[in-house]
């Protein structure tokens, strides 16, 4: 079961890329400083994900204006994230993190790793907003073929 609004967000540290720049994204680095939007998506190279991530990129100024850092997370590898940007979605200037090893560890902490069915081992499409105090302010799991509406997240961020 996914974590719920009011829960303390599980901390994590994951390898990530911003464009081709390799970095480490650590949730606790933002505590007391910025809200964090965690966007779990199933897989690089898939149609809905290839629309979802560029949508966040095109709304980056709005996220920044609401004092929010966005991070996208999938169980794909860092090299896959880099190649996906180079060959498909264009450069993304926010972190895309890799929950590749240990496989799906962060998705498990957030209750969104699919552990059965035809696409076991990838995470559900889900969005969490973590406030500056480290609490979950928004939590929603989406149908796998449904792209999240950023307006839902903006509405929550405006209240924080």
Q: Which residues carry out catalysis? A: 49
Residue 12, Ramachandran bin (φ over 0: left; ψ between -120 and 50: alpha; else beta): beta
pTM assigned to the model: 0.97
Question: Which phi and psi (to 5°) does residue 40 adopt?
Answer: -80, 135
Confidence of residue 15 (pLDDT cuts 50, 70, 90): very high
Q: What is the mean pLDDT of the chain?
A: 96
Of 9, 37, 24, the closest CA to residue 148 belongs to 37
Domains and CATH numbers, the chain: 13-157 (3.40.30.10)
């Amino acid at each position: 079961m996914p974590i719920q609004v009011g829960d303390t967000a599980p901390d994590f540290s994951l390898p990530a890329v911003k464009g081709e720049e390799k970095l480490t994204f650590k949730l606790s680095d933002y505590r007391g400083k910025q809200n964090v939007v965690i966007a779990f998506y199933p897989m690089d190279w898939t149609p809905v994900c290839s629309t979802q991530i560029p949508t966040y990129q095109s709304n980056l100024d709005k996220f920044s204006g609401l004092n929010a850092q966005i991070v996208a997370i999938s169980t794909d590898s860092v090299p896959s994230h880099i190649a996906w940007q180079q060959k498909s979605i264009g450069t993304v200037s926010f972190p895309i993190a890799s929950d590749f090893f240990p496989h799906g560890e962060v998705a498990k902490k957030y209750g969104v790793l699919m552990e059965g069915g035809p696409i076991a081992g990838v995470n559900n499409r889900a969005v969490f907003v973590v406030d500056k105090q480290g609490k979950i302010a928004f939590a929603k799991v989406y149908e796998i073929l449904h792209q999240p509406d950023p307006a839902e997240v903006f509405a929550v961020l405006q209240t924080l």
